[in-house]
Structure 1
Amino acid sequence: MTQNRRFGRFAVAAAALVVLPLAACGDDNGESSGGDTAAADSPLADADLSGVSLSVGSKDFDEQLILGNMLADAFEAAGADVDRKINLGGTNVARAALLSGEIDSYAEYNGTGWTEHLKQEDPSSDGEELTEKVRQMDLEKNDIVWVGRAPFNNTYGFATGPDLTEKNGGAFDFDSMAAYLKKNPDAKVCMESEFPSRSDGLVLFEEATGYTIPKSQQEIQDTGIIYTETQKGNCDFGEVFTTDGRISELDLSVVDDGGAMIIYNISINVRKDVYDEAPEAFDTIADAVLGSLDQETMTALNEQVSAEGEDPADVAKQHLVDAGLIDG
């Protein structure tokens, strides 16, 4: 999946222009899908969004397509009238749509909120603390409410293919990765074009290890190619997103970052005027839905879409059924 778009640094002005014809962007734009029913013993049965109308959006990569549909399904099960505007575009497009009122809700990452939307530095390495800081600042500045927090962390990372992992006797950590690169000057670290210059990218590895990867060891590739080239061994280390379904599909092993990389946990973003219509219901939905998404679960859901070709809407709905949140 093209998760590099998650943090795409589009010009703000360009994002605003893209939002104008929003009615043509979303997969299901302007359509309210059939409502789901909360399972009788589900927390969603106690969440009442009757009389609430809202538009739910998402960014344009697999994980976001799943999450956008999942939120829409959950809101509908609680009685809301939902207009789906899934697959809007990159990060700035979705954010601009939320701020302008073109959509009322979508799923956003705390690390993105802190560094991209609020333009802050030195994010906390504690996911709960980071989310709380983002929640307070975004509410005060923009009337955006951050509701709940999922335990999974879709951050940047590196991975190795099965052969190198076996040769190493198991997964690398940042220090052993740096040692390997020092010892093997012909080794290749494959990255997409933005990663070496991003404030949340390569620099965090170099700061953590004290090893600056020379240009001769850097190879710039498209995100999708990196996974397969790493699996084949053509890349000793490849840049990945840590909940990408291709990691397990291709038997890649993620390098342990020791907490060096920025955290990216999901919260539900809701415009304050909409949230205030039923705050307890939104809180209940967030706790139930986001609480069901740990690292293993989100990675498996992504794999169903990116590796197995399943429809994100079907994957989202089936997860809610399997989690006992809505009726099948």
Structure 2
Amino acid sequence: MKRLLAGLACVATLASGCGLATAGGYVPDAELAGPLEDVEGLDGASIAIGSKNFSESILLGKIALILLKAAGAEVTDLTNIPGSASSRQAQLQGEIAAMWEYTGTGWITYLGHEKPIKDEREQYEAVAEEDLEQNSLVWLPPAPMNNTYGFAVTQAGKEKYGIEKLSQIGEVPVRERTFCVESEFANRPDGLEGMLRTYGVPRGKADGVPGDNIQLYQTGAVYDALASGECTFGEVFTTDGRIVSLDLEVLADDKQYFPNYNVSLVVRDEVLEEHPQVEELVAPVTEELTNEVLLRLNARIDVEGLEPADVAEEWLREEGFIS
């Protein structure tokens, strides 16, 4: 816990060179209810929660913050950290006690494995075992939701090409075989190049996907580019609310190329040892985090423009976890 407090002091003095920048915002007040009503023992606990700087991660961070605060903990909101590398380093250094993380990210990006494990449960168990052993981080049981990468087409594109799965990409004429992707995805080991190779349309090949067919966009801009016809295929996250609002069709990953990205609350081991109630607090909430739930909640943020904290609070109240 001393390392955690030292990390919080580091966060409070960013100008001294600690390097963690965040804009967390507020945490609503609430009381625990329903299956969480009898959770006790967190009064006076000091717990910092972090997240990355995209809507779903911030939303999940707010859910954890609201629950912990309602249970009596003194919470520090360090959500909205720019980038995976910064947030991961902050947790490794003890600046944050817990944050939601994705099994695929942990296995490939953080632990350095090249090949994902196709079975969801086996992937979770492998990353949980290795991260605990190497970094003293505990991965609590994962949610059903799987926010993995995918590729989508518009309804017009689906009708024009008769396409429903990624193995049909090769049936689209080469000059119309165009892709809108984020720059990170274009270069990461589990990204575009491996996907195209797996589905028989290698990048840079005249009969595959020529380099000029690939357009790079900033995070989030892919959806509008796809919807407006800038490309035939757009990289998406499978729980992004804009899939619903823009009426996009996610193509089936019929060769199971993309890793599993089930989300789990990852807690520093010494924090969980001192406050085991954290697991009891988040377990029933985690079980309700399905793809359908996250699609709806993410849409409220990205499409309707609501604040993640408000969306988190409203959902927790609807589900009877707080009052």
Q: TM-score scaled to structure 1, two decimals?
A: 0.85
Deviation (angstroms), 1:188: 1.5
Per-residue CA deviation, residues 6-41 of structure 1 (Å, 9 max, x unaligned), is xxxxxxxxxx9997154x63324xx8x4642111x3
- 1:269 paired to 2:266: yes
1:11 aligns to what?
Answer: none
Deviation (angstroms), 1:255: 0.9
2:205 aligns to what?
Answer: none
Moved more, 220-229 or 100-109: 220-229
2:190 aligns to what?
Answer: 200
State the AA in 1 paired with 2:134: K
2:302 aligns to what?
Answer: 306
CA distance in 2, matches of 1:25, 1:312: 15
Is 1:192–1:239's contact at 8 Å kept on the other side of the alignment? yes
Indicate how the Cα distance of structure 1 residues 115 and 18 shifts in structure 2: closer, same or farther if over 3 A, else same.
farther
CA distance in 2, matches of 1:92, 1:18: 20
Structure 2 matches for 1:270-309, cutoff 5 A? 270-279=267-276, 281-309=277-305
Q: What is the SS of the residue equivalent to 2:96?
A: coil
Q: What is the SS of the residue equivalent to 2:48?
A: strand
CA distance in 2, matches of 1:250, 1:146: 34
Deviation (angstroms), 1:215: 1.6
- 1:121 paired to 2:118: no
Of 148, 157, 167, the residue aligned with 1:175 is 167
**Any stretches of 5+ residues in structure 1 without a counterpart?**
1-15
1:96 aligns to what?
Answer: 89
1:107 aligns to what?
Answer: 100
Indicate how the Cα distance of structure 1 residues 151 and 77 shifts in structure 2: closer, same or farther if over 3 A, else same.
same
Per-residue CA deviation, residues 279-328 of structure 1 (Å, 9 max, x unaligned), is 2x22222321211110011011111111110001000111111111111x
State the AA in 2 paired with 1:325: F
CA distance in 2, matches of 1:111, 1:256: 18
Aligned residues: 303
Is 1:152–1:295's contact at 8 Å kept on the other side of the alignment? yes
Per-residue CA deviation, residues 162-214 of structure 1 (Å, 9 max, x unaligned), is 21123345x6201112222xx34333222222323321111332243222122
Indicate how the Cα distance of structure 1 residues 318 and 94 shifts in structure 2: closer, same or farther if over 3 A, else same.
same
Of 8, 30, 34, the residue aligned with 1:36 is 30
**Any stretches of 5+ residues in structure 2 without a counterpart?**
1-13, 203-208
Deviation (angstroms), 1:84: 1.2
- 1:222 paired to 2:243: no
1:144 aligns to what?
Answer: 137
2:3 aligns to what?
Answer: none
Indicate the percent of aligned positions where both proteins have the same amino acid.
37
Indicate how the Cα distance of structure 1 residues 177 and 102 shifts in structure 2: closer, same or farther if over 3 A, else same.
same
State the AA in 2 paired with 1:20: C
Q: What is the SS of the residue equivalent to 1:276?
A: helix
CA distance in 1, matches of 2:219, 2:46: 37
Aligned-residue RMSD, C-alpha: 2.2
Of 161, 176, 180, the residue aligned with 1:186 is 176
1:133 aligns to what?
Answer: 126
2:18 aligns to what?
Answer: 20
